[in-house]
Amino acid sequence: MPYGTSYIPDLISHASGGVTSSLTASQLASKFGAANVKTPTKNFSFCYNGHHISGRAGVPFVVDVGLAAALAAANAPVV
């Protein structure tokens, strides 16, 4: 999909140490490691450790080991 497609964000909000910035998907992968960044292939939602997790198709997010395992166990549509 071409960069700039309306339903795929060019920048992802990132908060760290009380500072919010915007990163591209490649910057997010570089900062946290490509294996720790998951991108939903379609919208989904489920509960994890008492929190409602929502994924929006094409919007990458960072996961830890526990969340990655929960996503896999729930057959969440992420790559």
Distances (CA, A) of 21 to 9, 30, 32: 14, 15, 15
Whole-number pLDDT of residue 48: 92
List pLDDT tens digits, range 30-54. Answer: 888 878 889 899 999 999 999 998 9
Whole-number pLDDT of residue 9: 61
Is the pLDDT score of 70 beyond 70? yes
- pTM value is 0.68
The Cα 17–Cα 60 span in angstroms is 20
